[in-house]
Structure 1
Amino acid sequence: MTFEKKYNVAVVGATGAVGVKMLETLDQKNFPIEELSLLSSKRSAGKEITFQGNTYTVQEATPDSFEGVDIALFSAGGSVSKALAPEAVKRGAVVVDNTSAFRMDPDVPLVVPEVNEEDISQHKGIIANPNCSTIQMVASLKPVQEQFGLARVLVSTYQAVSGAGNEAVDELREQSQAFLNGEDLKAELLPVSGEKQHYPIAFNALPQIDVFQDNGYTFEEMKMINETKKIMHDEAIHVAATCVRLPFFTSHAESIYVEVDQDDITVEQMKEAISQADGVVLEDDPVNQVYPTPLGSAGKSEVFVGRIRKDLDKDRGFHLWVVSDNLLKGAAWNSVQIAESLIKNNWLSK
């Protein structure tokens, strides 16, 4: 994409897993940056980061940090976003927020550009980036909704540890080595750092991501349920989710069952629709064992779909396997796409 001018950009949470990926993505996509501000919590302030050959000192994020900033990419936790995103907007910045702080706010667009880019035009200073698992699911299901209608979605996720941050990645690495050495495993973070009980993730599966709600679902599962309906503009879609953390580092995988609104849709029709979707790659050749895997999608910005097959009992039911890099399309790339769309469509000054 070619840009006519450059913009002042701030990255909040620049030292975190997603922040690092945001900087890599801004570089790789040659985003038009005039001045770059790298911001973080007080704890991480003072660290040095090299970007495009220049060394930047990370500053503590304060309201005044956003003076003169055009676009602010936030990924430093919900509490930081709630405190500082409105302050950034007051100072003239447009915020793309990667936390759950504003996702369900009716005045804040929740956007996956391949699915509902036009919603960006309605922003009032803040655009929300959806949950990483939601992003890849709705990107793969948008063509299904458009061509065949979408009545029901049941999803089980297989989520990488990087979704819980750099410390969780370190814990998986340490636990794996301890397990192989026959040592006791120390669990201090997962499934949720603030919970009383922690379980090892190495060689394990944890059916809890985020805290449990009164209805028995976790907050992560409710994110997927509610965000899907908002992004796809259809409160009537029946959505249920079970989210599971598994011991690999990068990319989330999902087993998705969908029911469409039309009878007699074939697998080939479903494959054709999905293969034509923006940002989606079909990898579906079971005879030759071709299907997406987390390792195969790591470092790539697309959503990969395979193992499309018809349910054996429900004529309108289909099963899909969807994989995507949770730090790229699930976070950094989707955020940068939104920023590019703001510029491309002259929506920045809204």
Structure 2
Amino acid sequence: MTPTRSSGPALAVVGATGAVGSVLLQMLSLRADVWGEIRLIASARSAGRMLAVRGEETEVIALTEDAFDGLGPGDIALFLTPADVSARWAPVVTTRGSVVIDLSAAFREDPEVPLVVPEVNGHAVRIRPRGIVAGPDCVTATMIAALGALHSEYSLCDLVVSSYQAASAAGRAGSEALRRQQSLVAGTSLGEQPGDVRRAVGEDTGPFAAPLALNVVPWSGELRADGWSSHELAVRAETRRILDLEQLPVSVTCVQVPVLTGHSLTVRARFEREVEAAHAREILEAAPGVVLVDDPEAGEFPTPVDAAGTDPAWVGRLRASLDDRHALEFFVCADNLRKGAALNATQIAELIAGEFA
């Protein structure tokens, strides 16, 4: 454990050894240092590992009640853990007076827990009756800064989204499954005949509903009523909460694609006011957390390859609808581990730390 510093709140990172945790620790070394102690917490099997934080080797400690000893009012714990882990341990932190920032689905629907993307509704972090702030799903986070900026000008009234989700959204297991499947199908003519890819991959589809290599899988989450997936309904609900549009019609189709890092979405947004594409470009160019790359004639538009390893959401293919003067269509992509998770959590933590400065 790193020694306690004399100033700044303590920051506990729970799930520090996971895919998002690794990115977050790198980020902490690059951003302004507002923290005193940074404490790394993970499952018992990861305890004892040494990880670099702010240029120092820091020991990972096991997730037990003792791991939170010394935390109190003004300190913060980031939970980068599955929902069941967050639900079990977040109250242990908040009873000590510390604030929890949770990236799982455990608290996203709780009306007493603000769901926050700082570029859109950063003010909401100040009202947290349970001492918890939630971050959205990485799909929602990919599009919401651009949508929020356009909504402020035109008033969003209908949304249709298709996601193209990277394997790393399923953590290390997702990335490893895709790499493993790619090695099984590399250098062959697989995919030319029905069943080729399934035979090569066998039953080892990893966390996905079907083989991902040489394929796209139109499913993410668990089955819900009328054929919707839990992930699709979550993106719908989160968008409504963050934009404070409880009745907003939202239709989402989630698709897994054979990309390691970087979620992409196609978006059709309809507004109460007529949309001028030129003015929409100006709005997005000025929007925090958004980069506009939109010159199809020159072959310039964003792809996950461009977004990987960067902080903004990249927007392109911006165009007014052919059939509706109130509608705008665009493509957006972002690094799902950074913009979709680690960056959002870090920004929330910095906002809260500023309250105690």
Scaled by the length of structure 1, what TM-score is found? 0.93
Kindly indicate whether the alpha-carbon contact (under 8 Å) linking 2:150 and 2:284 is maintained by their aligned counterparts in 1: yes
Q: Alpha-carbon deviations, 1:245-265, whole Å to 9, x = none? A: 1001111000000111013x2
Gap regions ≥5 residues in structure 1: 193-197
Taking the aligned partners of 2:80 and 2:302, their CA distance within structure 1 comes to: 27
Alignment match of 1:62 (pick from 38, 48, 64): 64
Aligned length: 338
| Counterpart for residue 180 of structure 1 | 186
1:181 is displaced (CA, Å) by: 5.0
Letter aligned with residue 257 of structure 2: L
| Counterpart for residue 91 of structure 1 | 96
Percent identity of paired positions between Structure 1 and Structure 2:
37
| Counterpart for residue 217 of structure 1 | 228
| Counterpart for residue 196 of structure 2 | none
Alignment match of 1:234 (pick from 215, 225, 245): 245
Letter aligned with residue 163 of structure 1: A
Letter aligned with residue 252 of structure 1: H
Tell me, yes or no, if structure 1 residue 277 matches structure 2 residue 282.
no
Kindly indicate whether the alpha-carbon contact (under 8 Å) linking 2:290 and 2:312 is maintained by their aligned counterparts in 1: yes
Kindly indicate whether the alpha-carbon contact (under 8 Å) linking 1:267 and 1:308 is maintained by their aligned counterparts in 2: yes
Alignment match of 1:109 (pick from 100, 108, 114): 114
1:305 is displaced (CA, Å) by: 0.7
Q: Alpha-carbon deviations, 1:122-145, whole Å to 9, x = none? A: 013110011111112111111211
Taking the aligned partners of 2:250 and 2:349, their CA distance within structure 1 comes to: 29
| Counterpart for residue 193 of structure 2 | none
1:8 is displaced (CA, Å) by: 1.2
| Counterpart for residue 172 of structure 2 | 166
Task: Look up the SS of the partner of 1:314 in the other structure.
Answer: coil
Stretches (4+) displaced over 6 A: none
Task: Look up the SS of the partner of 2:341 in the other structure.
Answer: helix
Kindly indicate whether the alpha-carbon contact (under 8 Å) linking 1:154 and 1:258 is maintained by their aligned counterparts in 2: yes
Alpha carbon RMSD of aligned pairs, Å? 1.7
Residue 106 to residue 280, structure 1, CA distance change in 2 (3 Å): same
Kindly indicate whether the alpha-carbon contact (under 8 Å) linking 1:252 and 1:326 is maintained by their aligned counterparts in 2: yes
Kindly indicate whether the alpha-carbon contact (under 8 Å) linking 2:205 and 2:212 is maintained by their aligned counterparts in 1: no
Task: Look up the SS of the partner of 1:215 in the other structure.
Answer: helix
| Counterpart for residue 42 of structure 2 | 40
| Counterpart for residue 195 of structure 1 | none
Kindly indicate whether the alpha-carbon contact (under 8 Å) linking 1:49 and 1:56 is maintained by their aligned counterparts in 2: yes
1:35 is displaced (CA, Å) by: 1.4
* Most deviating of 199-208 and 50-59: 50-59
Kindly indicate whether the alpha-carbon contact (under 8 Å) linking 2:28 and 2:54 is maintained by their aligned counterparts in 1: no
Q: How does 1:3-42 map to 2 (within 5 A)?
A: 5-42=7-44
Tell me, yes or no, if structure 1 residue 148 matches structure 2 residue 154.
yes
| Counterpart for residue 194 of structure 2 | none
Kindly indicate whether the alpha-carbon contact (under 8 Å) linking 2:9 and 2:353 is maintained by their aligned counterparts in 1: no
* Most deviating of 310-319 and 243-252: 310-319
1:48 is displaced (CA, Å) by: 2.2
Taking the aligned partners of 2:296 and 2:187, their CA distance within structure 1 comes to: 37
* Most deviating of 32-41 and 202-211: 32-41
Tell me, yes or no, if structure 1 residue 338 matches structure 2 residue 348.
yes
Alignment match of 2:269 (pick from 250, 253, 258): 258
Taking the aligned partners of 1:73 and 1:131, their CA distance within structure 2 comes to: 15
Kindly indicate whether the alpha-carbon contact (under 8 Å) linking 1:191 and 1:209 is maintained by their aligned counterparts in 2: no
Letter aligned with residue 86 of structure 1: P
Taking the aligned partners of 1:285 and 1:53, their CA distance within structure 2 comes to: 41
* Most deviating of 69-78 and 106-115: 69-78
| Counterpart for residue 297 of structure 1 | 307
1:53 is displaced (CA, Å) by: 3.0
Taking the aligned partners of 1:132 and 1:109, their CA distance within structure 2 comes to: 16
Q: How does 1:194-213 map to 2 (within 5 A)?
A: 198-213=209-224
Task: Look up the SS of the partner of 1:56 in the other structure.
Answer: strand
Q: Alpha-carbon deviations, 1:295-324, whole Å to 9, x = none? A: 101111111111111111122111110111
Q: Alpha-carbon deviations, 1:11-34, whole Å to 9, x = none? A: 111110011111111111133232
Kindly indicate whether the alpha-carbon contact (under 8 Å) linking 1:71 and 1:95 is maintained by their aligned counterparts in 2: yes
Scaled by the length of structure 2, what TM-score is found? 0.91
Alignment match of 1:308 (pick from 318, 323, 328): 318
